[in-house]
Amino acid sequence: MMSKNNSPETEKVQQTEKYASACLIFNPVAGRGNPERDLELIKSILEPEMELDIQLTSKEVSATQLAREALERDAKLVIASGGDGTVSAVADALINSNVPLAVIPRGTANAFSVSLAIPTNMEAACQAILDGVTRVISTARCNGKPMLLLAGIGLEAETIAKADRTAKNRLGILAYILAAINQLRDLKSFEARLEREDEVISFSAVGVTIANVAPPTSILAQGPASLVPDDEFLDVTIFAPVTVLNAIAASYHLLQTAFSGTPTERNDIGYLRVKKALINTDPPQKVVVDGEVIGTTPVFVETIPKSLIVMIPQSQAAAPVEKLDGLPDLTIEPKENHNLSNSDSEYPES
What confidence score (pLDDT) does residue 348 get?
44
**Cα separation, 100 vs 281, whole angstroms:** 37
Same domain for 259 and 165: yes
154-199: per-residue pLDDT in tens?
987 777 766 555 444 554 444 445 555 566 667 789 999 999 988 9
pLDDT of residue 349: 46
Do 175 and 259 fall within a single domain? Answer: yes
**Is residue 62 domain-shared with residue 185, that is, in the same domain?**
no
CA distance linking residue 349 with residue 25, whole number of Å: 68
- Sheet of 269-274: strand order equals 269-274, 234-239, 207-211, 150-154, 286-289, 292-296
Same domain, 152 and 287: yes
Check: CB of residue 301 under 8 Å from CB of residue 145. no
The whole-model pTM stands at 0.78
Strand partners for 269:
239
Angle between helices 174-184 and 155-162 (to 10 degrees): 130
Specify the pairing of strand 292-296 against strand 133-142. Answer: unpaired
- The CA distances from residue 309 to 4, 160, 297, in Å, are 15, 28, 30
Is residue 139 assigned to a domain?
Answer: no
Looking at the fold, whether 113 and 159 belong to one and the same domain comes out as: no
CA distance 55 to 26: 6
Helices first, then strands: H and E counts in the chain = 9, 16
CA distances from 175 to 30, 212, 273, 311 (A): 15, 24, 30, 29
Q: Report the candidate in 91, 117, 103, 101 with the shortest Cα–Cα distance to residue 30.
A: 103
Shared-domain flag, residues 202 and 228: yes
The answer to whether residue 336 is domain-embedded is no
Tell me: do 177 and 260 sit in the same domain: yes
Q: Give the span between the Cα atoms of 172 and 109, in whole angstroms.
A: 8
Dist CA 250 CA 284 (whole Å): 24
161 and 71 part of one domain: no
Q: Tens digits of per-residue pLDDT, 133-142?
A: 999 999 999 9
**In the prediction, which pLDDT does 322 show?**
58
- The reply to whether 193 and 299 lie within a common domain is yes
Domain of 44, in residue numbers: 21-131
Q: Is residue 2 part of a domain?
A: no
Ranges of residues in the chain whose predicted pLDDT is under 70: 1-17, 161-185, 316-324, 326-332, 335-350
Query: Which CATH number fits the domain that encloses residue 251?
Result: 2.60.200.40
Same domain, 192 and 51: no
What does the pLDDT read at residue 337?
52
Domain stop point among 131, 159, 189: 131
The CATH number for 70's domain is 3.40.50.10330
Q: Are residues 286 and 235 in the same domain?
A: yes
Does 231 reside within a domain?
yes
57 and 120 fall within a common domain = yes
* 98: Cα separation from own chain's centroid: 18
Q: What is d(CA 254, CA 100) in angstroms, rounded to the nearest whole number?
A: 33
As a whole number of Å, the CA-based R_g of the chain is 22
